Amino acid sequence: SAAAADGVDEEAMEKERRAAAERRDAVGEEMESVLRVLGGVLDEIANAQMVMCESLEVSLSQTLETFAGIEYQETNRLRSEADVLTESAEEALAKYLHGRHPERTNTEEQISRVVQAVATSQVGSALKGWTRSGSALADEALAL
């Protein structure tokens, strides 16, 4: 199979040589030399473009990686700061709700009184006729 592949390659190269010779004959020797120079110039331009693209890619990707690293660090710092501030705000709210205003807290004693009142249905019967004028009756039932 290697010999067959070599034979196919040799045939292809021979066809290419014949095609090149036919083109040379068709355009003339002067045009051949001009086209050869033009082909060399185009090869140089293509190489220069590749080098330029690689250079831009390297310079921009390094800058982008640096930018991303800095922004990532800043984002992590801001997230940590936000976590600390959130925790501080939650603590302040808890102190406000439970520390300075004890009448607002639901102690176990108050909860057990409400449960007891509901269980004996005094609150339910007291609230059936509840209106603006009857709010004192409802407050009295809750105080039990």
Residue-wise pLDDT for 32-67, tens only, equals: 888 889 999 999 999 999 999 988 888 777 777 888
What token pair was written down for 82? 């936000």
- Considering the chain, what is the average pLDDT of its residues? 75
Whether residue 135 is predicted with pLDDT greater than 60 in this model: the reply is no
pLDDT confidence of residue 120: 56
User: For the chain, what percentages of helix, strand and coil (3-state, to nearest 5) are there?
Assistant: 90, 0, 10
| % the chain with pLDDT above 70 | 65
Higher-pLDDT residue of 104 and 60 is: 60
Q: State the pLDDT at residue 38.
A: 93
Between 47 and 136, residue with greater pLDDT: 47
What radius of gyration do the chain's Cα atoms show?
45
Residues 116 and 144 sit within 8 Å (Cβ to Cβ): yes
Q: How confident is residue 107, by pLDDT bands cut at 50, 70 and 90?
A: low
pLDDT of residue 106: 56
What does the alpha-carbon distance between residue 67 and residue 72 come to, in Å, rounded to a whole number? 8
What is the model's pLDDT at position 66? Answer: 84
Distance between CA 88 and CA 67 in Å, rounded?
31
pTM for the structure as a whole? 0.33
Output the CA–CA distances (angstroms, integers) from residue 112 to 22, 123, 141, in the order listed: 108, 14, 13
Residue 123 near residue 117, CB atoms below 8 Å:
yes
Contact by Cβ (8 Å): 117, 141: yes
The pLDDT assigned to 108 comes to 63
Token pair recorded at residue 141: 């039932």
Instruction: Tell me: pLDDT of 94 over 80.
Output: yes
